[in-house]
């Protein structure tokens, strides 16, 4: 089985690369933005014709949420138009597509965990382009799985956990938003889930939600990091309004994961257990 993975140097791509060594029966082809530039939409079919994968794992995305407000065209190319091309190629070549999406397709106005069929109403450019990418996959008729996730972190790349470690080491006091609710996702756990789905023989197309178990705020997440690492830095909780950003954030993005657990028999670790594992690795 030939598996193409885009975004090889990102958080999820790096974890897939590590875990892929445990699947010698598969031929993994990892590509980064230089080898498979998703903003070069017109060349997508040619590149896929050259590789001819059986499965595409699209772990690449334009994820600079605030910058996307000014770079709408680039974000749309990466998160929407290139994804549409991948889906059409898969539909035309009897290949499968596993695409990673985001909680940002929702508006954050819910107060209960979001199921896969909850109404989509993104509130920023990043969420809008990811929403359009999902819709393009569905319209294509491709044999596809879409996994929405949230608050991704790992030992690789830039993320909240690594930022907190740096700030807690440098400062005596920091402020973290305490009114945005969700659950983080350790990219290693998501990578394990993806590889399990692909190699289980239980491929069932559709949309699924995946994040670690639990319900916390960013402030709670920071407190957990401090407790596990033993930093003495004071963490103050602040409102979203007190920390304005160019792009609006959903205030509630807790994902309902019942469907992915029931379909594939997953046991999903708690956010605290996975955070401890990641911090031990770091």
- pLDDT band at residue 129 under the 50/70/90 scheme: very high
- For residue 237, the model assigns a pLDDT of 97
Hey, where are the domains in the chain? 2-157+184-213+253-269
Average pLDDT rounded to a whole number, residues 266-273? 97
What is the SS3 assignment for 131?
Answer: helix
Q: Confirm whether 186 is a catalytic residue.
A: no
Q: What share of the chain is helix, strand, coil (3-state, %, to 5)?
A: 45, 20, 40
Distance of CA 69 to the CA centre of its chain: 19
pLDDT tens digits along 27-70: 999 999 999 999 999 999 999 999 999 999 999 999 999 999 99
> In percent, how much of the chain has pLDDT > 70?
100
Q: Which of 118, 79, 129, 78 is nearest to 247 (CA)?
A: 129
pTM: 0.97
pLDDT tens digits along 203-240: 999 999 999 999 999 999 999 999 999 999 999 999 99
* Active-site option among 126, 208, 210, 252: 126
Is 2-157+184-213+253-269 CATH 3.40.630.30?
Answer: no
């Amino acid at each position: 089985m030939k598996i193409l993975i885009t975004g090889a140097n990102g958080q999820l791509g790096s974890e897939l690369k590590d875990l892929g060594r445990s699947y010698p029966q598969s031929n993994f082809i990892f590509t980064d933005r230089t080898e498979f530039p998703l903003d070069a939409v017109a060349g997508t079919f040619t590149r896929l014709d050259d590789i001819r994968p059986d499965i595409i794992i699209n772990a690449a995305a334009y994820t600079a949420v605030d910058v996307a407000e000014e770079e709408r065209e680039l974000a749309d190319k990466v998160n929407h138009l290139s994804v549409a091309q991948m889906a059409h190629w898969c539909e035309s070549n009897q290949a499968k597509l596993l695409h990673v999406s985001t909680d940002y397709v929702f508006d954050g106005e819910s107060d209960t965990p979001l199921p896969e069929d909850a109404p989509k109403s993104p509130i920023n450019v990043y969420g809008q382009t990811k929403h359009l990418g999902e819709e393009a996959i569905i319209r294509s008729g491709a044999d596809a799985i879409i996994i929405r996730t949230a608050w991704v972190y790992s030992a690789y790349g830039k993320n909240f956990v690594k930022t907190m470690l740096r700030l807690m080491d440098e400062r005596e006091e920091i402020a973290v938003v305490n009114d945005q609710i969700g659950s983080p996702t350790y990219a290693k756990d998501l990578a394990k889930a993806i590889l399990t789905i692909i190699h289980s023989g239980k491929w069932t197309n559709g949309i699924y939600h995946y994040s670690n178990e639990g319900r916390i705020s960013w402030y709670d997440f920071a407190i957990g990091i401090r407790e596990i690492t033993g930093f003495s830095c004071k963490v103050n909780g602040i409102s979203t309004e007190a920390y304005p950003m160019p792009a609006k954030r959903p205030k509630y993005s807790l994902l309902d994961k019942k469907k992915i657990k029931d379909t594939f028999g997953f046991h999903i670790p708690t956010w605290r257990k996975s955070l401890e594992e990641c911090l031990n690795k770091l």
